[in-house]
Amino acid sequence: MTTLSIYIPPWRIDITRAPSVPRPAPASALARLVAAGLDAAGAPRPASIGLILTDDRELATLNEKHMGKHGPTDVLSFPLLDWPAFPPHRGQAAPEGNRSPMADFRPPARRVELGDIVVSVERAIAQAAQGRGGQTGNVSWSPADELRLLVIHGTLHICGWDHARPEEEAAMRALERRLLGLAA
């Protein structure tokens, strides 16, 4: 595994790539996309985030361990901050339960760790080749475009966005399209 830290103030994006993973998009382009997502979602600043580019095998292991689902998936996000650390967004459900005392803990004048996004580049390439890309699973586009979508999708999950409710899914998909420069 190799890690490259890219600074796009106020963000530090640490991109870790497994040695055998293809490079359908440059690390700098992916870092700019992560930074745009963090800006759009109102992430606390300054902050750092990890982007791990790996394969189906690693995603299958993580998917089973953390989500209880068998087999690989395309992207998983592991946020370190709770929902109150981010501004509310359109379609978001009212949070249940009490606010966690660590929800918006930030050491003074320190970079906040937001979490990690783990993407299967292998899955992105396969989905693009099979015409199963995009948010709907029926878009034919390049592996780079599919990877870009997965990266922004994971970034928004880190920032408290979800797609379990139709209203929030519509808002999340619209923001993804905007960040990817696609027509809304």
CATH of the domain at 119: 3.40.390.30
The number of folded domains in the chain is 1
Indicate whether 94 belongs to any domain: no
Q: Is residue 96 part of a domain?
A: no
Residue 59 inside a domain? The answer is yes
The residue range of the domain holding 66 is 2-87+111-179
Q: Is residue 82 a part of any domain in this protein? A: yes
Could you tell me the two tokens for 46? 């300054």
- Cα four-point dihedral sign 23, 157, 179, 12: negative
Q: Which residues contact 159 (CB under 8 A, 6 or more apart)?
A: 37, 38, 41, 42, 43, 79, 86, 114
Identify any residues that bridge with 139 across adjacent strands, giving them in sequence order: 133
* CB 15, CB 3: distance < 8 Å: yes
- State mean pLDDT over 8-29: 96
Confidence (pLDDT) at 164: 86
Q: Indicate whether 101 belongs to any domain.
A: no
Lowest-pLDDT range of 5-9, 63-67, 165-169: 165-169
Would the pLDDT of 104 be above 80?
Answer: no
pTM over 0.75: yes
Instruction: Look at residue 8 in the predicted model and tell me its pLDDT.
Output: 97
Contact (Cβ atoms closer than 8 angstroms) between residue 146 and residue 46: no
| pLDDT recorded at residue 134 | 76
